[in-house]
Amino acid sequence: MAPKDKKEIEFIHDISNQVVIAQGGAGFVLSRLQKKNKFEEDELESLKKIVDAISQISQLIHDQKSRFRASS
């Protein structure tokens, strides 16, 4: 494996950990707010969009990690 590939894999690994934390935290907050009904409709829609965006980022990272594993 080339040094550049190793650095890219390390970067993807490091960032994926943070994305997973953000995804879990945002999902938790969304769930709690929905249960308590303590939100305005526009706030709920914004938080849903944030959770969806984090999920999409997580999937892109997962796909890239899979490509690196396949090429190693």
Distance CA 10, CA 60 (A): 16
DSSP state of 37: T
pLDDT tens digits for 4-18?
677 888 888 888 889
Q: What is the per-residue pLDDT for 33?
A: 82
User: Considering the entire predicted model, what is its pTM?
Assistant: 0.71
Q: Which tokens go with 39?
A: 């939100």
Q: What is the per-residue pLDDT for 5?
A: 74
Q: Which tokens go with 44?
A: 């709920």
Do the beta carbons of residue 15 and residue 61 sit within 8 Å? yes
Per-residue pLDDT for 2 more than 70?
no
- Mean pLDDT score across all residues of the chain: 84
pLDDT tens digits for 21-39?
998 998 888 888 888 887 7
